[in-house]
A and B are shown apart, each in its own frame.
Chain A
């Protein structure tokens, strides 16, 4: 209980730091075996518009992997540090750094990661960034700390897309934000529903479904130029776009034959061909990491279940067997884990399955529309609460949960973007 209080306290401190946050981070659980890391304030960091050390601290805390210790002092990357003292305070590693305003208006951000046990330097970065990219630089440093201490690439500098809607006002937005919910930017805005955004593997485009032509039509939008391409506007429904891992093709659900079936099309809209052939519903295609297998939802056995089949067609193999309603398959980037939504005991829950063993784990309740983080360690999903939908994140082991709640509006349909260069 005491631990919980401490956590809630530090979580509220974090919220104080991110006072203008578009989405609030609420930590509802903690991971075991957290790595204790001390983060010092960076020398002269007040010259930059964002407090870099606070961003790093918030990111590391949010991951659930670290026990973040406030160093309660400013330590520059050039300072001689008494690492033994930090070891004594319980920290295995220490983050120090500095910020300097350059003559051209940019900021030089330097950081070092120090090992208090081996009394050595684990990593360092030095980047000159524009004022608006100081937040991003904080996320990049947090990614570096995460990777050096866990061996897994961090996702703090990645972005997410989601739909923000106010149906009563007929207001629908496709929004892009940082993975922590900061820096919201509207990519598309209209008076008809937008659903099913899917981020291209290179991070420059988002495919989505818009109802602006009074029916679902699939568009691919270049986020940088704003250019939109109609990828599929066939007779009937056009929906559920999903990119191939190499970004050259999209799997789709089309109803041009009467019933909803899986099709594949080139990213420019050419070369449309049918993949599945059943007499019922086949929808929600997802490419596996190998680019050769497609997982999808089908009602061929009655209720919806998850199946897989070759992208070149042929026999489908059933993947889910428990429960009468299994939908929205998502495959982890390493291809080993299936995340999906299952209706059991009335409610909709997020499940994960180890594909090799078939072992299932229930990760979260009241969940729809899951999306894996690019490092495969987290799953974002839409959740209902307080009469509206918001986003939440759970670690794939189910130990760390965060709710990203909003001040206003319904947020749904998250798609976690890829690693960016």
Chain B
């Protein structure tokens, strides 16, 4: 899955690069042949420099960058961002404060045990914990929405502690 994503990213990046370069080529001055009989045009200043911006990769799309990790995990019956999730929250907060046009949906999840609606509310508590941490790091409220998928969209489909731990999670989803 991760490999597939990387390939998709490389293809997308390549497409982006080629799109950029073709645009630049079209903007370059065209060479035209003119009749010799006409008065000679003033010679172009071959010491003139026309600057070009090179393509930049959005760090969000770097599969090896820190922003590739978008999941924050929680302990059983806990709704507090763990130490191992703090870096994830900080990295995305830093990106969002620099890129104020970007918005994220924070989707909270729970393990499969318990009622549908109560789990939805518990997942919301996890999403809200991440949202509050990001807001405290300066991300604007308009960039953040905390929601819950409860136990409805488990990433791990097993019925053991390993699967449950994987599903006690909030994901940062860019819109």
Contacts and interface: CB of A to CB of B under 8 A. Distances in A.
A265 to B, nearest CB: 17
Contact of A216 (B118, B131, B146, B148): B148
B138 to A, nearest CB: 18
A297 B107 contact: no
A195 B148 CA distance: 13
Nearest to A303: B77
A412 B117 CA distance: 13
Contact of B145 (A235, A281, A297): A235
Contact of A327 (B115, B132, B148, B157): B115
B147 interface: yes
A116 interface: no
B117 A239 contact: yes
A168 B154 CA distance: 10
B124 A255 contact: yes
B165 interface: no
Contacts of A54: none
B105 interface: yes
B147 A215 contact: yes
Q: How large is the interface on B (under 10, 10 to 19, 20 to 34, 35 or more residues)?
A: 20 to 34
A140 B147 CA distance: 45
B116 interface: yes
A259 to B, nearest CB: 7
B117 A236 contact: no
A237 B124 contact: yes
A348 interface: yes
A283 B150 CA distance: 13
Residue from A255, A259, A297, A328 with most neighbouring chain B CB atoms (10 Å): A255
A325 B147 contact: no
B117 A325 contact: no
B145 A283 contact: no
A297 B119 CA distance: 12
Contact of A214 (B122, B150, B157, B173): B173
A214 B107 contact: yes
Q: Which 4 A-B pairs have the closest CB atoms?
A: A215-B147, A193-B152, A260-B121, A281-B121
27 contacts: A193-B149, A196-B117, A215-B145, A215-B148, A216-B147, A236-B145, A236-B146, A240-B117, A253-B120, A255-B128, A255-B147, A258-B131, A260-B120, A260-B124, A281-B118, A281-B121, A283-B117, A284-B118, A297-B115, A297-B118, A304-B118, A328-B118, A348-B114, A348-B115, A368-B115, A369-B116, A412-B116
